[in-house]
Structure 1
Amino acid sequence: MIEAVLFDLDGTLLDREKSLIAFVSHQYDRLAPKLSNISKELYISRFIDLDKNGYVWKDIVYDQLIQEFHLTDCTVKELLDDYVINFKHYCIPFRYLHQMLNELTQLNIKIGMITNGFGQFQLDNIQALGIEHKFDVILISEWEGLKKPNPEIFNRALAKLQVSATNSMFVGDHAINDIEAAQNMGMKAVWKRNDASPTQKADYIIHELDEIPMLVQQLVTSQK
């Protein structure tokens, strides 16, 4: 019996790729006089390359950009502060996000989130998506002092939800941090398909978020 569904954030609920492109594009426009050594197209593409799907923090990304393109009119701190303050204004959800969460609530399914990242930054993004109130528990790695794939952060979430791993499902996009880690806990692991972290080890594979409530209902029915 599935009693709870837990989610990753970036690449699962938040379309991080589209959000990042939107942010970087507007950052260039805001700071264009200071970035004249580089074209907008190259600034965006190089940023995306250096970002490595979010696994490189932005101080390193900006430092590399400044060195590569000899940007003398701006500092790493200036660019990083702009990112931290303004990224939340460009958060784009994956399709069906709100519909999916509403349907899970109607099914009396508990909803949780476990996301790696900096606490206030991730919370700002969650609030920007307008979904914070939909979750029974949200754990962010910086504030927990633990990050996925450490099983303890999963244990904490399950304990707060008061559900067992075997009665829970985890939805994520990363082969190790989400899928493998959830399966090691005994949870059903659902991979939101992407090209960045491919895996065929998931229990289920989805393309769109609206598949989640249907999957939960199918599992409930099959276990009766």
Structure 2
Amino acid sequence: MIRAVIFDLDGTLLDRDSSVRSFIEQQYERLKPNLSHILKENYVQRFIELDNRGYVWKDKVYQQLSEEFSIELSPKVMLEDYLREFKHYCVPFVNLHSMLHNLKKLGLKLGLITNGYGQFQLDNIRALKVEDNFDVILISEWEGIKKPNAEIFHRALSKLGVSANESMYIGDHPFNDVEAAKKVGNKPSFLHLPPINYTLPV
């Protein structure tokens, strides 16, 4: 019997592709005095390519952008803008709030495990207005361990008070989420599409 559902954040609850595009388009406008020699779409597309769906940290992304486009503004200033502003562009997947509400109504415990920097990821969770839905939130920086390491899954299960076979893990990465959850004993679900409706084995 399923007693808990544990989620990934980026690409699962947060529509990261839409969020990144919205953010980077507006970053170009904010920093336009220093970026006007670059076509906006070139700046946007290159950021998205270098970002690699969030798996390259932005200090390296902005350093590369600065070198490729001869940007006089320092990479540090662009990174600070990212850290400060990204939360304002967080886009939830369709029906996110009603889905979480319905799971809670079923009496299920909810957990969240995300890789990333602590305050940055927490700001994004709060921007989605979902923090209060979760019984447990684990962010890799603050835990000192990250997916796919099994320990972070075991830690979430322990805090939720459930066993692996009593939980379902939902994420979008085939290795960090799905394969890692399988090894722990969670029932994994791989998302190719936004999490609109879930059918849970109960």
Give the TM-score normalised by the residue count of structure 2.
Answer: 0.99
How far, CA to CA, are the matches of 1:117 and 1:37 in structure 2?
Answer: 32
**Which residue matches 1:38?**
38
How far, CA to CA, are the matches of 1:112 and 1:137 in structure 2?
Answer: 5
User: Deviations for 1:45-103, whole angstroms, at most 9, x for unmatched residues?
Assistant: 0000000000000010000011001112x001100000000000000001110010000
- 2:111 match: secondary structure: strand
Q: Is 1:116 matched with 2:115?
A: yes
User: Deviations for 1:109-161, whole angstroms, at most 9, x for unmatched residues?
Assistant: 00000000000000000000000000000000000000000000000000000
How far, CA to CA, are the matches of 1:71 and 1:53 in structure 2?
Answer: 23
Deviation (angstroms), 1:37 = 2.1
- The share of aligned pairs that are identical, in percent, is 58
How far, CA to CA, are the matches of 2:177 and 2:88 in structure 1?
Answer: 26
8 Å contact 1:146–1:152 — kept in the other structure? yes
- 1:211 match: secondary structure: coil
Q: Is 1:16 matched with 2:16?
A: yes
**Which residue matches 2:197?**
211
Deviation (angstroms), 1:208 = 3.8
Unaligned stretches of 5+ in structure 1? 194-206
1:1-224 matches, within 5 Å, as 1-72=1-72, 74-193=73-192, 207-212=193-198, 215-216=199-200, 219-220=201-202
How far, CA to CA, are the matches of 2:185 and 2:195 in structure 1?
Answer: 22
8 Å contact 1:99–1:210 — kept in the other structure? no
How far, CA to CA, are the matches of 2:42 and 2:163 in structure 1?
Answer: 48
Unaligned stretches of 5+ in structure 2? none
How far, CA to CA, are the matches of 2:101 and 2:44 in structure 1?
Answer: 35
RCO comparison, higher one (Cα < 8 Å, 6+): 2
Give the TM-score normalised by the residue count of structure 1.
Answer: 0.89
**Residues matched between the structures, number:** 202
> Once superposed, which parts of structure 1, at least 4 consecutive aligned residues long, lie more than 6 Å away?
none
